[in-house]
Amino acid sequence: MTTSRNDDPLRLPRADCDVVTVPTRQGLEAVDILRRGAGDAVGLVLHDGGGDTLGFLVPPGTAAAWDVPGSTCTETDGRGFRLAHELPAEGSDWLLPPGGADSATDPAVLREALGEAQRMIEAADSRT
């Protein structure tokens, strides 16, 4: 049952979103970049159980124009899910959980942060 009232402080309204998935190393760098820039620029972020990827929640429709190499953007087709401390996908966990952030990260800001993160990783790897 979906309701517009929020009786449980741990349960937030449904969120329609797309999910940008990136390798963990690049995603963690991007989270740091976003937090250093405008601390509230990063929205909710999931990580998978194996620790291989991070998923940034972005506004619906982002997948249609997403073209960042090394990442994917998956549509939710407006189905949304209930944002709660419960996880939307088995085997995942919140890196940045509901309650502490807006639900979605601005795709343009995320694109810039992912690009900067990739450049940082490449520079660090070239020194070793």
pLDDT tens, residue by residue, 37-83: 866 789 889 888 788 999 999 998 899 999 999 999 998 765 555 55
Mean pLDDT of the chain: 79
Residues 6+ apart with CB under 8 A from 28: 54
Q: Residue 5's pLDDT is what?
A: 34
Task: Give percent of the chain with pLDDT exceeding 70.
Answer: 73
Paired strand residues for 92: 48
What band does 101 get if pLDDT is binned at 50, 70 and 90? low
Q: Do residues 77 and 17 lie in contact, with contact meaning Cβ atoms separated by under 8 Å?
A: no
* pTM across the whole model: 0.79
Nearest-angstrom CA–CA distance, 79 and 73: 15
